[in-house]
Structure 1
Amino acid sequence: MTTNIFLVRHAHSTYTPEELKRPLSEKGLKDADIVKKLLIEENIENVISSPYLRAVQTVEGLASALGEDIHIFNEFKERKLTEGAASDFEEAIRKVWEDPSFSWEGGESNKVAQQRGVRGIKTVLEKYENKNVVIGTHGNIMVLIMNYFDEKYGFEFWKKLAMPDIFRLSFKDNKLVDCKRIWKDT
């Protein structure tokens, strides 16, 4: 039997400095409806999300259509890059990918964030074995999780992600056997 985990990077959000409560933009809300329509065809049995509003909003239409509650897992929240805003975001993110143990002041290294995300995936694999599960999450933590299972998913891959983006990770005996992009906003 196979456990399929659909990692859903949140749709476009309206910027606010408050990470936890940043909502989807008008475009993001429309795209969340497309996410629902695509994933309803995948026989989803459980819906999980990061606690961040934009991730929850991206999968809540699906959960509602399925009559399921959204289970919040803190392990799937976005990685904290630095305390406050980075003066040069691109350079800050590049540095943590070049040196997985490096962290900016008040932030998480790739290694620490990846361990958190993988801990969440392992919990999902144990709790929802042989099920189809959606996880609403964020781009950086999503790629760090994927990178744990296959190193080809790295910084350059992350730069090409869209909002939203969906990948199906298929596991047998807790080993990744397939990874397929389901949909990418263009």
Structure 2
Amino acid sequence: MTKLYIVRHAHSTYTTEERTRPLSKEGRADANALCEKLSMYPIDIIVSSPYQRAVETVKPLADYLHKQVHTMEGWKERTLVEGGAADFQKAIEAVWEDESFSWPGGESNVEARDRGVQALNQLLEKYNGKHVVVGTHGNIMTLIMGAFDTNYDVNFWRGLRMPDVYTLTFEDKELARVERIDL
């Protein structure tokens, strides 16, 4: 059994620059609380999206456990539209209504899900039988989980908190169980 603790990042201070958007003061406090909660689990490795807010969310745990945060591009947030969306709600609705639709310079749900599932499979192969924390983002997290169960959809995404943690337990590459960890 391989356990992936999928962590949606804590609250961030909004900037248009996706890669370097930092956690807010509230987000940093929540990352510390997340550390306290997840440090009770037998964590073997910590992986994250390369985006600053995702790394900063799992960094307190890594520091506490004396582990390194390994970044993987496949866990970055989906690119919705190049340069940012003028109307985020309209942009996000369009990609969820038509799985193959993408805005200029953006990824469709199909493209982002394929990228995310590939990253997940890489972890399952490399860390078979281990407990892995993964710092990531709400949309890509939902798309990956939706590849295994269609109940993980836009409504699930809308209900996610910052941070939020779901444990995905795999038997080889078969998803056996999903559990939410209360923070």
Alignment TM class, shorter chain as reference: over 0.9
Instruction: Indicate the residue corresponding to 2:112 in structure 1.
Output: 113
Cross-structure match for 1:63 = 62
- Tell me which residue corresponds to 2:52: 53
TM-score by length of 1: 0.96
Aligned length: 183
Partner of 1:143: 142
* RMSD after superposition: 0.8
- Report sequence identity in percent: 51
Aligned pairs for 1:79-94 within 5 A: 79-94=78-93
Deviations 1:35-78 (A, max 9, x none): 11111111111000000000000000111111111111000000
Counterpart residue identity of residue 31, structure 2: A
SS at match of 2:118: helix
| Matched AA of 2:86 | S
Amino acid at match of 1:139: G
> TM-score scaled to structure 2, two decimals?
0.98
Structure 1 stretches of 5 or more lacking a match?
Answer: none
Structure 1: which amino acid aligns with 2:36?
A: K
Equivalent-residue separation in structure 2 for 1:86 and 1:122 (angstroms): 30
Contact 2:31 2:60 in 1 (8 A): yes
Q: Which residue type is aligned with residue 9 of structure 2?
A: H
Separation in 2 of the partners of 1:173 and 1:14? Answer: 38
For residues 80 and 183 of structure 1, the distance between their equivalents in structure 2, rounded to whole angstroms, comes to 29
Question: The residue matched to 1:20 in structure 2 has which SS?
Answer: coil
